């Protein structure tokens, strides 16, 4: 992981950022910082590229059963068959080692890991349901 990636992840962990997007340089097989920002949950879906896979970390402030929480959600976006097979396979195989590195090196607690192929499903209700599934 590049130094700017680690710096952005620490900023997210500390609450200085709400969003970090990471990409893989497929030639060098390195994780790069694609973007970092302070966004709301309503803007999240607009950050998801339609033609390339990405990793996203989002600091999601929300309330649940009267508690005010700030949960970090790891999102792996994969646009289906609109990107090369090699790229899809590389992102898929790097996901678990990346999450493990984030959790150990940055000591960031990831509340939920989500994989999506449609950015339009990323909204507040979806994230709440992922973090706090309704009990039947």
Counting other chains too, the contacts that 24-32 makes at CB distance below 8 Å and 24 or more residues apart are 24/53, 24/87, 24/90, 24/91, 24/94, 26/86, 26/87, 26/90, 29/90, 29/94, 30/1, 30/2, 31/1, 31/2, 31/5, 31/55, 31/94, 31/98, 32/2, 32/4, 32/5
Q: Give the mean model confidence (pLDDT) for residues 98-116.
A: 96
- Residue 103, pLDDT > 90, answer yes
Domain 1-32+39-131 indexed as CATH 3.40.20.10: yes
Query: Regarding beta strands 110-116 and 54-64, do their DSSP bridges make them parallel or antiparallel, or are they unpaired?
Result: unpaired
pTM value? 0.94
Q: Locate the domains of the chain by residue range.
A: 1-32+39-131
Lookup: tokens for 52: 């390339």
Band (pLDDT 50/70/90 cuts) for residue 26 is confident
Task: Identify the CA nearest to 83 among candidates 52, 113, 50.
Answer: 52
Band (pLDDT 50/70/90 cuts) for residue 136 is low
**72-99 tens-digit pLDDT:** 999 999 987 778 888 889 999 999 999 9
The pLDDT score that the predictor gives to residue 5 is 95
């Amino acid at each position: 992981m590049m130094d700017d990636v680690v710096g952005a992840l620490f900023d997210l962990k500390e609450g200085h950022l709400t969003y970090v997007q990471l990409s893989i340089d497929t030639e060098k097989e390195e994780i790069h910082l694609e973007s970092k920002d302070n966004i709301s949950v309503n803007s999240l879906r607009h950050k998801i590229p339609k033609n390339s896979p990405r990793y996203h970390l989002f600091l999601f402030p929300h309330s649940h059963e009267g508690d005010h929480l700030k949960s970090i959600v790891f999102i792996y976006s994969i646009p289906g068959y609109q990107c090369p097979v090699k790229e899809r396979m590389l992102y898929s195989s790097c996901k678990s080692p990346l999450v493990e590195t984030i959790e150990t090196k940055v000591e960031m607690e990831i509340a939920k890991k989500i994989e999506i192929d449609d950015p339009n499903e990323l909204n507040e209700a979806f994230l709440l349901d992922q973090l706090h599934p309704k009990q039947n």
